[in-house]
Amino acid sequence: MCVCAPGPGLAFIAYPKAVSLMPVAPLWAALFFFMLLLLGLDSQGGMYVFQLFDYYSASGMTLLWQAFWECIVVAWVYGADRFMDDVARMIGYRPFPWMKWCWSFITPCVCLGIFLFHLVNYKPLTYNNVYVYPWWGEVIGWCLALSSMLCIPVSLLYKLFRAKGTFRERWNHLTTPVWGAHHLEYMAPDIKTLSSLSPSTDENKVIIFESVM
């Protein structure tokens, strides 16, 4: 690399031939300075945004909310016994009953209790116990949290609204497992052959499998 100054106030840098032949050189130059701009912005406010996202959207109440409803759906809607049978088909033996009690009672109660305790004792988010986030920062944080927390109740209400019949009929229709083709592959051969079963028939919804002991 050499530096030449052909005149006063004018200078240019001659780079090696390999660098000068770089394809789309203006694009890479623009991306390089754009990277410097982003690094500067991240150094000024990146930690504040990261902590805001981590506090409201990636941990705390959001995960407790998701874990609570996941246990409710698995244990009480799909059925803990049915889920135990599914696990037994995959691993070859029925899990210890303690797992069923955890899915049905212990884990939902613990998640709900911690969630309510965190909600009652809620305090505004601070950074290093010095900087208190403004009100609009709290609004952004709650929007981030509700963007994932509202998916469960909104989906439930949407499905109930779209279904037909009375409320009990809609609920029974939405909470009744429907066997798909990938479920039929794991059926015991002594019950029925795969060719005689169809995922769309109502008969497949009430098939009871013997637990693998």
DSSP string, 146-195: HHHHTHHHHHHHHHHHHS-S-HHHHHHHHHS----HHHHTTS-TTT--GG
Residues 188, 173 contacting (CB under 8 angstroms): no
User: Which tens digit of pLDDT belongs to each residue from 149-190?
Assistant: 898 889 989 999 998 888 889 988 888 877 666 666 655 554
pLDDT at 185: 61
Strand partners, 132: 126
Residue 85 DSSP symbol: H
User: Tokens 């479920």 map to which residue?
Assistant: 183
Determine the pLDDT at residue 94.
87
Residue type, 49: V
Q: Is 39 annotated as a binding residue?
A: yes
- Digit-by-digit pLDDT tens for the chain (213 residues) are 444 444 444 444 444 444 456 788 889 899 999 998 888 776 667 778 878 888 888 777 888 898 999 999 999 888 898 889 888 888 888 888 899 999 999 999 999 999 999 888 888 888 887 888 888 888 988 898 898 889 888 998 999 999 888 888 998 888 887 766 666 665 555 444 433 444 444 443 333 333 333
Give the start-to-end residue ranges of the domains of the chain: 51-162, 169-199
Task: Check residue 181 and give its pLDDT.
Answer: 66
Q: Following DSSP, what letter does each residue of 4-66 receive, concatenated? A: EEEETTEEEEEPPHHHHT-TTHHHHHHHHHHHHHHHHHHHHHHHHHHHHHHHHTSSTHHHHHH
**What type of residue is 68?**
F
- On whether the pTM is more than 0.85, the answer is no
pLDDT of residue 30: 92
Condensed to tens digits (0 to 9), the pLDDT of residues 71-90 reads: 999 998 888 988 898 888 88
pLDDT at 126: 83
